[in-house]
């Protein structure tokens, strides 16, 4: 298995053949002359501890993101297993009876996953009992987003579906034309009170009405450039982030850009390429770029504050913030914690040694990580 392809979700949606073509598309692919950075010893300034760890089953060729609701963590694996942990204790584990490819989404009432056949399956969060199952148009690679009355699902053909959370009845579908070549996308939609935000091929960020699936506004994060199809790939392959009146996204071979949430007007943008993603807090935007550097940008102006580049080609996850730290995982299963103020290394924790692919999820004042090998780790600053 090529873990770097899994990490990025950079499987071609067109029928391309030949490793050289795919490797050229993969920004983390290395040549014999270019090696990932070796980890240097650090002087820890924060005491990060493993609160608990569990087992989810292997992700294999897919990206599974834990769903966290209060002290409950829901995880899934390719073999069809779905597990609930409460404060690290396994409450239940069920099998979907088939392979899974996308998940997990939950609001504490429903637990929703997707399959390579395009099936969306919902379970009762209390006991894991299956409640309903519907079929969409293509494979489900991203975790569904679950609200009080709606489940929003992204399919592999870049459509968004809105399903009634009670019975799975389809309420709406949003679709748009795709370019000849695009990247497979495992990024879940982002849900607000009224909108579902999702990035699409060609560098477009779209706000879709939760009521009827209509596009409310469309913002340009990146514009395709170049003479070849590969050069012109400028897709948004990570989840957007939102805080207050601002929503931001980043594109592969493109830019990071922030928009006014209400009307889609551009606030600022700057050139940067990322397939992993970004995070936001009350001061900054944090972006993991395609070379393994982590950047901090002023969230209101986009100006650069710091850059941590000592994790070169270590295939980092999207960042997450908490307790004054910025957390990222790497291809060797190591979690790195950076000081929010200057990007210096504050702590480091090693998991099971398999790649960390899914973005870490907030858990209390800490984070939950899931590895490709199936390890689930809850970490916090003590």
In the predicted structure, residue 330 carries a pLDDT above the cut 80: yes
Give 256-321 as a DSSP string: EEEEETTT--EEEEEE---SSEEEE-SSEEEEE-TTS-EEEEETTT--EEEEE-TTTTS-----EE
> Could you read off the pLDDT of 243-273 as tens digits, one per residue?
999 999 999 999 999 999 999 999 999 999 9
Q: Rounded to two decimals, what is the model's pTM?
A: 0.91
- CATH 2.40.10.480 segments of the chain: 190-236+239-273
Pick the CATH number of 190-236+239-273 from 2.60.40.1840, 3.20.20.140, 1.10.10.10, 2.40.10.480: 2.40.10.480
Question: Dihedrals φ, ψ of 329, to 5°?
Answer: -110, 160
In the predicted structure, residue 111 carries a pLDDT above the cut 90: yes
- CATH 2.40.128.630 segments of the chain: 42-58+285-296+305-382, 64-175
In the predicted structure, residue 24 carries a pLDDT above the cut 90: no
CB 13 within 8 A of CB 178: yes
| pLDDT score of 228 | 87
Pick the CATH number of 64-175 from 3.40.50.300, 3.40.710.10, 3.30.450.30, 2.40.128.630: 2.40.128.630
| pLDDT score of 25 | 45
What burial letters (b/e) apply to 21-49, b meaning 16+ CB within 10 Å?
ebeebbbbbeeeeeebeebeeeeeebebe
Nearest to 51 by CA among 100, 86, 26, 19: 86
Confidence label for 32 from pLDDT (cuts 50, 70 and 90): low
Pick the CATH number of 42-58+285-296+305-382 from 2.40.128.630, 3.30.300.30, 3.30.505.10, 1.10.730.10: 2.40.128.630
CA separation for the pair 363, 378 (Å, rounded): 7
| % of the chain beyond a pLDDT of 90 | 85
CB 150 within 8 A of CB 165: yes
Confidence label for 182 from pLDDT (cuts 50, 70 and 90): confident
| pLDDT score of 21 | 34
Q: Output the six-digit token pair for 144.
A: 């569904």
């Amino acid at each position: 298995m090529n873990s770097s392809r899994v990490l990025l979700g950079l499987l071609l949606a067109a029928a391309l053949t030949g490793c050289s073509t795919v490797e050229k598309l993969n920004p983390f692919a290395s040549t014999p002359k270019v090696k990932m950075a070796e980890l240097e010893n650090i002087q820890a300034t924060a005491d990060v501890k493993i609160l608990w760890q569990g087992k989810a089953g292997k992700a294999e060729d897919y990206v599974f993101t834990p769903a966290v609701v209060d002290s409950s963590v829901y995880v899934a694996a390719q073999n069809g297993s779905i597990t609930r942990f409460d404060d690290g204790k396994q409450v239940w584990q069920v099998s979907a009876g088939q392979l899974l490819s996308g998940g997990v989404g939950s609001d504490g009432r429903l637990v929703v996953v997707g399959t390579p056949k395009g099936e969306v399956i919902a379970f009762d969060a209390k006991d894991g009992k299956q409640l309903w199952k519907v079929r969409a148009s293509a494979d489900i690679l991203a975790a569904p987003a679950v609200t009080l009355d709606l489940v929003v699902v992204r399919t592999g053909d870049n459509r968004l579906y809105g399903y009634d959370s009670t019975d799975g009845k389809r309420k709406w579908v949003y679709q748009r034309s795709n370019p000849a070549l695009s990247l497979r996308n495992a990024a879940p939609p982002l849900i607000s009170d009224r909108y579902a935000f999702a990035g699409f091929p060609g560098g477009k960020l779209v706000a879709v009405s939760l009521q009827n699936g209509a596009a409310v506004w469309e913002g340009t994060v990146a514009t395709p450039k170049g003479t070849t199809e590969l050069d012109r790939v400028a897709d948004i392959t990570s989840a957007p982030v939102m805080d207050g009146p601002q929503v931001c996204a980043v594109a592969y071979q493109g830019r990071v850009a922030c928009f006014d949430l209400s009307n889609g007007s551009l606030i600022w943008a700057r050139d940067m390429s990322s397939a992993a993603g970004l995070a936001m807090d009350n001061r900054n935007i944090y972006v993991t770029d395609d070379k393994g550097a982590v950047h901090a940008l002023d969230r209101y102006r986009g100006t650069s504050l710091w850059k941590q580049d000592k994790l070169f080609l270590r295939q980092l996850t999207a960042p997450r913030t908490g307790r004054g730290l910025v957390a990222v995982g790497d291809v060797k299963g190591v979690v790195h914690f950076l000081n929010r103020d200057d990007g210096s290394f504050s702590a480091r924790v090693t998991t099971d040694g398999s790649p960390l692919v899914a973005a870490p999820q907030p858990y209390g004042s800490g984070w939950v990580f899931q590895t490709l090998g199936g390890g689930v780790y809850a970490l916090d600053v003590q």
